[in-house]
Amino acid sequence: MSAEAATDLAADPAVAPAVVLIAVDEALATLERSPLSRKRAMLLALLIDRAIDEVPAGDPLARCRHLVRGALGEVLRLAALHEQGPRLVLDTVPVEDPESLSEADYMVSVYCGGMAPRVRFAWPDGRREDALPLLRSAAAALRAVLAESR
């Protein structure tokens, strides 16, 4: 599909949520293929943030409940780029389960003494969390919010 066709489809209120979800799914698949890319992680976060704009107004309290809690809320705070919000960092972390690693990650861990790089959410208070599982959860929460709003 051409970019112009996608833009035309996205302008249709009945189709826009589906088009945005396709973009979110594609960005998630791309991130899963390149899990060390902060740029791809941020693109996914921004697409999730954009998708929230497609949620019909409906019950504003129900909408807000999803937006402030859990993974979806953290991703929206990341996308807002607030100074006190989370940011994406590349950390080297201990490998807990070497069998779960891809071949490339395993080789990196062998040469780095059982450590492997990970894109992580970092909060000003020092908390850290792996980005990929958090972004997966946020994408799933987005699907639930969009399904609930139909």
Q: Above 50 in pLDDT, residue 3?
A: no
Q: How far is CA 76 from the centre of its chain?
A: 9
Ordered by start, the domain boundaries in the chain are 3-148
| 96-106 pLDDT per residue, tens | 887 877 787 78
**CA pseudo-torsion sign 3, 5, 13, 23:** negative
Token pair listed for 147: 């399904």
| 14-53 pLDDT per residue, tens | 556 678 889 999 999 999 988 889 999 999 999 999 888 7
